[in-house]
Each structure stands twice: as structure tokens, then as C-alpha cells.
Amino acid sequence: MVPLQERLSFDWLPALRPQSAVKLALAFLLIVLTMVTAPTGNAGQRDEARCIVSGHLALVWSDAPPSSGIRPSLEATLYTDDGRTIQLSKRAGSTFQEIDFLALDRTYIRATGSWQGIAGGSDLIVVDSVQPSRLPLAAKRLIGDGYRGGLRGSKRFVTIKVRYPDSPVVPLPDPEYFESMLVGSKGTSLDEYWREVSYGEIDLAGSEVVGWYTLPKRRSEYILSDNQTLGVHAIAIDAVALADEDADFEGVYGINIVFDTDISDSARGGTVKVNVDGADRYLGATWLPPWAWRSHSVSAHEIGHAFQLPLREGRTVALRLDLGRDEQDA
């Protein structure tokens, strides 16, 4: 097991010293998230068409390995009332900023833009503007039980171990590895980390680990054809369905999806909409390839995205999570 207090070659999070008498502030070094801009010309077999769409917004941050030199990026998905999944991309030169997306995560919004085609089974819309919208009476309000009360208290996660049907056979860690990483008591677990950096206000108590499960599709079938990114929302939906009989999703805050082989060059964290026990819900979520789940630091970073932690442009943000405040580093 890799201890949390290891000295990493990249500063995702401060090193954890569980026995220290001085409480640590949680630091995130988050660069301005630059969304991939889709082309403005025609796509697929349909001409570009102006459109206005409404639905629930879910954001996912994509973090490549630090050695890759690839900047973090923001992936925006809209779930419409009629069951469509729409990928949103910011139009080059538009007046609204990525921060407009960040402020509206997990809310009901209206987006104005141009339809660009189909990407891996999802509509792709290049967006000119986004704004909050009133939830229609016929629409269901989405909220995870674990979100009530804000960023305080027990935030239970279900860790779901999955593999693709066409994955090569690779050595896997002992079954106890993920449980120890999540809620162990040796001073190196993610539960102990969040307890310390939040001054005892956040814990992962009650979290559980299930799997391995074989996903119903090959990896290539989860790739969004338009931009060659991984369809992480589809993977989350399939993973939850596979784990539903074994895991307790009542009151859960989020899910960690861990893979036996690299899903792509990136780890991800953010929000997903899934159907649990017959009801659609928002869940915090992480998607962790082996290079990510082997590092407690990276796993904690992605869980931070699932917690919707605040962002500042090109600066380190120290968070006083127990008070619900953040302090800008000098």
C-alpha cells in the first residue's frame, strides 16, 4: 500500500501526517479548466441548427497524469426531461465563461446553442449561453440523500470494481486493498484523511467495496465518437446496475468506479445521474484507472471533485471545510 504521507512528484494534495498536532488545511492546485471547444461547422448528417435545451447539469473534471503535460478539462453533460443525454461544449468567442458552468453544477438549467450532431449516442451542442431555469412541474427534482446538510457529516461512498469484457488479464491487488484504502484505521486511509483536513467534520464512514464486475460493453463501445473521450456517464449507469444487488445505495453520497486496466490517460471526478432503486439521483462520482487508485493522493483529489470543492484560477485554495469557508492563499 502506498502511504498518504509519501512524497509525490506532483502536488495534488498536501502530504498527510495523521499524528501531527497541527491540523492541515486541504490544498487544491487547480488550473483554470479549459473545456474542449467543438467545431462550429456542420457535423454528422444534419446541418447545424439553433436550439434551446433544458435539463439537469452534471460536471466532471478530467485529470491526466501530471507527467503528460495535459491540462485539466471540464466535461459538461445535460440530462433532459425526455431522457436524452446531451454533451455541452463552449463555443469559441462566446461571452459566458466556464465559471458559469461551475456555479450551476447539479442544478436545472437552460442552454442556448447549436446542435452539432451525435457523439457516441449523445447529442452534442455548442453552447453560447447557460442560465438557471425553473424546474417544470412535471420534472423530477434530482438530489442525492447524501447532499442534504451540505459538505458536513458522513459521506458514504460505494466503490465499484469493474473490468471490460475484452480487458487483458492483469494482476489485481488483494481484496482488502480498496477497503483499507477507503476506511482503514492505520493512519493512511481516505476516511482518516478527510477527517483530519476537515477538523472532524467530514468522514467516509459506512463506505463499502463491491465487485469485480464485467461491464456489458467493450471499452471501444464506451468511446464518444465525436471527440474520442470516454463515456463515463454510461459506464457509471452500467456499474451501478451491476452492483445494485450487492451494494447498499440508500443514503449514499457517491460512487468510486475503479478499473482493472487504464480507461484512458485521465482520472475523473464530479457528478453523475444514475437510477438507484427505481429513482433517478445525482451522485458524486470518481472514475479511477490503476495509476490513480494506486495513489491515495490522486484518489483523494478526485473525491474532492465529487465534493464540488471551490476553484480559483491558477491559485492554491486552502479550504476550511468545517466552517464552510475558503481562504485564498497569499
pLDDT digits (tens, 9 = 90+) for 222-271: 876 555 677 888 899 999 999 999 999 998 999 999 999 876 678 999 99
| Residue 20 neighbours by CB under 8 Å, 6+ apart | none
pLDDT digits (tens, 9 = 90+) for 208-217: 999 999 999 9
H/E run at residue 130: strand 122-132
Spacing of C-alpha 252 from chain mean position: 15
Question: What nine digits make up the cell of 258?
Answer: 475503479
For the cut 90, the answer to whether the pLDDT of residue 73 exceeds it is: no
pLDDT at residue 122 in the model: 65
Alpha carbon 305 to chain centroid distance?
6
Q: Once rounded to an integer, what is the mean pLDDT over residues 1-28?
A: 36
Question: What percent of the chain has pLDDT above 70?
Answer: 69
User: Does 126 score more than 90 pLDDT?
Assistant: no
pLDDT tens across 299-322, in order?
999 999 999 875 443 333 334 333
Looking at per-residue confidence, does 213 or 326 come out higher? Answer: 213
Give the pLDDT band of residue 326 (cuts 50, 70, 90).
very low
- Beta partners for 58? 77
- As given in the structure block, the three cell numbers for residue 107 are 442544478
The confidence score (pLDDT) of residue 208 equals 96
Q: What is the mean pLDDT of residues 277-301?
A: 90
Statement: the pTM of the whole predicted model exceeds 0.95: no
Q: What is the distance between the alpha carbons of residues 205 and 156, in angstroms, rounded to a whole number?
A: 6
Assess whether pLDDT exceeds 70 at residue 75.
Answer: yes
Could you tell me the CA-to-CA distances from 178 to 154, 191, 264 in Å, in that order? Answer: 18, 12, 21
Confidence label for 204 from pLDDT (cuts 50, 70 and 90): very high
3-class SS at 187?
A: coil
Q: Cα separation of 9 and 67, whole Å?
A: 9
